[in-house]
Amino acid sequence: MKMAAGKAAHQRRCLEALQRKLGHQFGDVDLLIRALTHRSASTERNNERLEYLGDAVLGYVTAAHLHQALAKAPESALTLARAALVKRATLAEVARSLDLGVYLIFGVGELRSGAWRRDSILANALEAVIGAVHEDGGVEAARALVMRLFDDRLEDSAAAAAKDAKSALQEFTQARTVSLPEYRTVQEVGPRHQPCFTVSCEVVQLGLKARADGASRKEAEMRAAAAVLSQIEAGDGPG
Amino acid sequence: MKMAAGKAAHQRRCLEALQRKLGHQFGDVDLLIRALTHRSASTERNNERLEYLGDAVLGYVTAAHLHQALAKAPESALTLARAALVKRATLAEVARSLDLGVYLIFGVGELRSGAWRRDSILANALEAVIGAVHEDGGVEAARALVMRLFDDRLEDSAAAAAKDAKSALQEFTQARTVSLPEYRTVQEVGPRHQPCFTVSCEVVQLGLKARADGASRKEAEMRAAAAVLSQIEAGDGPG
């Protein structure tokens, strides 16, 4: 909410409530205020730099967690699990669970247009808050915040990634009663002791298709399925 | 280099030399071996997972450093500076400065094809080494490694980013005696107290063009220039 000058006590109470929800008490509360300031309120002192930092911190913390939690998963599963965690819609959900929109500081025009409800603005502000905690308390404070905020979602995405991509894609299509994924070997090259397969995976009714390579047909199929799932996660499909 | 079984002493000496160059003594040297193993040598125990981790660690460490070093720079300059640091060609250069190709472990086919010289393979292996140091010594050991390896490059990219994008692009075109960048205001919308400008920036002889928005004409021009510079960095131009 936009704070008029002189309402300092109200602002302080608001920020205290948010810090309790975050589980992080700021040494420098100006960092939190900066993280909550949309560029419509100030072209100079807004949250864009902190968003840049928070995006990198979030990418790192989730990658490191998944790398450890999924000790047996191939790189493709880790990539997929992280993409699901850090996509805009997930970040906006987490931001809503904190009522973050209520605390944001906008210019008059943006405020009237209902900007505090928009996914992109909420997602960016959440990243800025993560960046602010990093600046205030260092990388371990930021890691603890991300683990608290993403808690169940980290476990869910890890569990989903642990399931193989072909099964996950098959379940997805069955749940929506569309045609099953079709796999086709496009190419097989390389010497016999080190072949390379190229496989396509297509879900006709969803208009989704991807290709991938692998050292075995099964591996190439897994990767192609993972690529189609990424398209679904990214919102290319109706999922 | 591919190590035959029984040449354990030779392998140990090689790995000791590499660890001295890295400035990190591994507690678990198997992590380093894993980071050096291309998937052609093993579809199971290769460096792909560590590359995934190292990529995220490198992105985070460079973002945090630039955020601090360039306290006044806008987010667009930070993004630009980081892109220059973590692009494939830069990573391959850093890998070559360590002679990393010499230490890589390939399958027979890849070894014969000269894979150890390829930018993409060197860049991926460097990220895997950063991931391995993170696993071995934690985030601060990985941060110290990145700061050592990128040393001057971090300073150069920070200095380049501190210079404004319009000046940098102008210098670039003058150095190559091509036409100067041309800026054109494409659109001006929004209420008077909060206008939004869209500006295009074009370097005709290089066939490069980009558009950007900003709260002032100057800001939009800076961002458009930065976008053209990114295209040059990404290799879209002849730069």
Last residue of a domain, one of A162, A189, A210: A162
Is residue A145 situated within a structural domain? yes
Residue A157 contacts residue A86 (beta carbons within 8 Å): no
Helical H runs in chain A? 8-22, 29-35, 48-69, 75-86, 88-97, 100-103, 108-112, 119-162, 165-175, 217-233
- Any bridge partners for residue B192, and if so which? none
Is pLDDT at B15 greater than 70 in this prediction? yes
Distance CA B178, CA B163 (A): 21
Is residue A92 situated within a structural domain? yes
Is pLDDT at B228 greater than 80 in this prediction? yes
Last residue of a domain, one of A121, A141, A162: A162
> Whole-prediction pTM value?
0.73
A192, closest residue in chain B (CA to CA): B109
What pLDDT shows up at residue B238? 43
* Pair B21, B128 in one domain: yes
Cβ of A53 within 8 Å of Cβ of B43? The answer is: no
What pLDDT shows up at residue B237? 46
* Pair B155, B64 in one domain: yes
* Pair B111, B169 in one domain: no
Tell which wins on pLDDT, B9 or A149.
A149
Q: Is 0.95 exceeded by the ipTM? A: no
* Pair B57, B113 in one domain: yes
Q: Considering its fold, how many domains does chain B have in total?
A: 2
CATH value at residue A142:
1.10.1520.10
Cβ of A190 within 8 Å of Cβ of B109? The answer is: yes
* Cα first-last separation, chain A: 33
* Pair A139, A177 in one domain: no
Is residue B101 situated within a structural domain? yes
What pLDDT shows up at residue A97? 96
What pLDDT shows up at residue B200? 95
Distance CA A73, CA B151 (A): 34
Cβ of B194 within 8 Å of Cβ of A39? The answer is: no
Residue A53 contacts residue A129 (beta carbons within 8 Å): no
* Pair A156, A169 in one domain: no
Contact residues for A6 (Cβ-Cβ < 8 A; gap 6+): none
CATH value at residue A199:
3.30.160.20
Angle at A168 between CA A162 and CA A173, to 5 degrees: 170
Distance CA B83, CA B135 (A): 25
Contact residues for A198 (Cβ-Cβ < 8 A; gap 6+): A185, A186, A187, A188, A189, A211, A212, A213, A220
Cβ of B215 within 8 Å of Cβ of A63? The answer is: no
Last residue of a domain, one of B142, B162, B182: B162
Is residue B66 situated within a structural domain? yes
- Any bridge partners for residue A184, and if so which? A200
Is residue A42 situated within a structural domain? yes
Residue A65 contacts residue A144 (beta carbons within 8 Å): no
Q: Which residues of chain A have pLDDT under 50?
A: 1-3, 237-239
Q: How far is CA B215 from the centre of its chain?
A: 30
Range of the domain at A60: 8-162
A143, closest residue in chain B (CA to CA): B139
Kindly list the residues from chain B whose CB atom is less than 8 angstroms away from the CB atom of residue A59: 56, 59-60
What pLDDT shows up at residue A194? 77
Kindly list the residues from chain A whose CB atom is less than 8 angstroms away from the CB atom of residue B216: 43
Is residue A63 situated within a structural domain? yes
* Pair B155, B189 in one domain: no
Is residue A238 situated within a structural domain? no
* Pair A114, A40 in one domain: yes
